[in-house]
Structure 1
Amino acid sequence: MGFLNLAGLGKVHFHEYGTGQKPVLAFHGYGMTGKQFNVLEQSVLKQYHVYGFDHFFHNESKLDDWTEQQIIAGMPKAMVKAYVEQWFKTYGRQRFSVMGYSIGANLALILVEEYADLIDEVILMAPDGLAVYKGFDIIQNKAWGQLLFKTVTKSKWLAPALLKNLRKVGFIDQSLYDIAYSEMNTPQKRMDVYYTLNLIKLLRPDVVKIASLINQHKIKCRLIFGRQDQLFPKLAAIPFINLLQSPDVHEVDLGHWLVVPALDEYLVNLTP
């Protein structure tokens, strides 16, 4: 593990693990850390050496004196390049792969936009960024949604009440309710959610450009979805998948909580 100092951003913490030789820059889901992919020990970790970055407001990654106003305005998309440029300074300019789960897929996809000529493979699991998720769009970009999000964050009772009502009307299932509740059941956790989702709101991948680059550079692209995932299902990603020449697409019998030992077993049993 170590740190990269990203100019204008802060100090990002990363974890190193895996017995494979091929480097992969990995970005985890909300509420996790860069070690999230260590459960894929029989599949991914035997092929790759993982550099798993902690998102800001997670674990030991810290922004440099950003004001609340700056955080709410969002991190400029161009700043994502700093991850790779600083990694190159430490490990040398070289080919690499990218991997992302859930909101972490946004950063992985943006790196494809910037470094397609150096990327060997893209591995995305229950990925955000391939289509607009209406819930995030409302709380990140609509004035009334932003106000609601801030109000819920500051309240002790609104967050659990809202989550219960969303579950009742079927907007989220029990598994998503459990995940969301566990990440919003204290004032600090609610602020971390608020700051994280605002910080990343400008990190919107250009999926048409990315698909073209994947095809042009013949980048391997593995997409894995949970069959019961109501947050980022395969159906929403079909337009992107249809743009790819040779996608490796999988739908497994899981929900959004996808990076688990059962996925490792599934990947190991795939025909090479």
Structure 2
Amino acid sequence: MSNFKLSAAALAVASVLLASTALFPSKLLEAHAAEQTVPPTVHYRTKKIDGVDIFYREAGPADTPVVLLLHGFPTSSHMFRNLIPLLADRYHVIAPDYPGFGQSAAPDHKEFAYTFGHYADLVDDLLGQIGMKSYAMYVMDYGAPVGYRLALKHPERVSALIIQNGNAYDEGLGLFWDPIKAYWNSDTPEHRKALESLMTLETTKFQYTDGMSDLSRIDPDNWIHDQALLDRPGNLDIQLDLFKDYGSNVPLYPKFQDFFRTQKPPTIIVWGRNDKIFPVSGALPYLKDLPDAEYHLIDAGHFALEDKLDEIAPLIRNFLDRKVARN
């Protein structure tokens, strides 16, 4: 009889537990969901700057330190799509597309100056419109001369530098640059046409895959997306104009380097060491002018974020938390 009573009691307890679970499953799910991390929301915006639509991605609390992400060729702010959510819980992240890239307007090259100085002015005006007075800058590829020109305009506004395969030294312009240098030295139709191969699908794919440690990590949508934009009518001349104007950055290298030495912004260098476009020979000279820079060579190629986001993002996050975040 006692055994029956014990079994009945156990059954009663079990039935109560089962009933509570059946009656309140949503409460259990809500409690579980509350424990999960929700990625920050990314906003996709466009501002008219000097008569041109400039697209930018924006995420993060408005009252937190700003991180400005400046993209390279031939991509856009799309290259930062995976990094932005990893920073935007604590930082206000802004990532614009330059004219002729991504979702920004692409005026005819005969009516619009596709120059790095113009890009820096447009980014400056964009930041002014949205009220950004201080920012850490992530500079990569084309983003380096755009960002460094911006730094020369407003050195006091640069709170930190994140440098990823972006050049500011003669040593960084190696063999890859020889045909482009020929174009700088002699603006002939032959030299201009010789650079058209740099806008082909083969070259675009090369930039994403060469030197990467694990090709299975590289999303093929990258080069398909970029190539579709490169192939828009008129875009070839836009890119060739920019290749020509890139030579205007080289005489500014001493001024960029003087900015490093005099302003001494907190700096982290995260460089894809297998990059043939901006090789390690362009990374090392930074340490002469920024001896306190944190220096990391990453086993990746040109677009290192595609291969090693899991390695690079924590380095950047840790750096910003120590050097930029408000305590």
TM-score category (smaller protein): 0.7 to 0.9
CA–CA distance in 1 between the matches of 2:104 and 2:75? 12
* Structure 2 gap ranges (5+): 1-43, 212-217, 323-327
Selected match of 1:87 from 127, 140, 149: 127
**Greater relative contact order (Cα 8 A, min sep 6): structure 1 or 2?**
1
- CA distance 1:50–1:191, shift in 2 (3 Å): same
| Residue number in structure 2 paired with 1:243 | 289
Task: Tell me if structure 2 keeps the 8 A contact 1:56–1:196.
Answer: no
CA–CA distance in 2 between the matches of 1:190 and 1:264? 37
Give 1:217 deviation, angstroms: 2.6
Cα shift readout 1:35-79 (whole Å, capped 9, x = no counterpart): 4223225754444222111122222211445417x65xx426255
Give 1:239 deviation, angstroms: 2.6
CA–CA distance in 2 between the matches of 1:66 and 1:149? 15
Cα shift readout 1:145-169 (whole Å, capped 9, x = no counterpart): 752442664x9xx9679x6xxx9xx
CA–CA distance in 2 between the matches of 1:63 and 1:16? 21
Cα shift readout 1:219-257 (whole Å, capped 9, x = no counterpart): 112221112111112222323331223212210111112
- Per mean C-alpha deviation after superposition, the further-off stretch among 52-61 and 41-50 is 41-50
- CA distance 1:124–1:201, shift in 2 (3 Å): farther
CA–CA distance in 2 between the matches of 1:145 and 1:159? 21
| Residue number in structure 2 paired with 1:175 | 210
Selected match of 1:38 from 81, 103, 116: 81
- Per mean C-alpha deviation after superposition, the further-off stretch among 229-238 and 56-65 is 56-65
Tell me whether 1:52 sits opposite 2:95 in the alignment. Answer: yes
Tell me whether 1:138 sits opposite 2:184 in the alignment. Answer: no
Task: Tell me if structure 2 keeps the 8 A contact 1:96–1:119.
Answer: yes
- Per mean C-alpha deviation after superposition, the further-off stretch among 246-255 and 135-144 is 135-144
| Residue number in structure 1 paired with 2:22 | none
- CA distance 1:129–1:193, shift in 2 (3 Å): farther
Aligned length: 256
Larger helix share, 1 or 2: 2
| Residue number in structure 2 paired with 1:216 | 262
Tell me whether 1:16 sits opposite 2:58 in the alignment. Answer: yes
Give TM-score scaled by structure 2 length.
0.63
SS in 2 for 1:102: coil
Task: Tell me if structure 2 keeps the 8 A contact 1:42–1:265.
Answer: no
CA–CA distance in 2 between the matches of 1:78 and 1:67? 14
Amino acid at match of 1:132: L
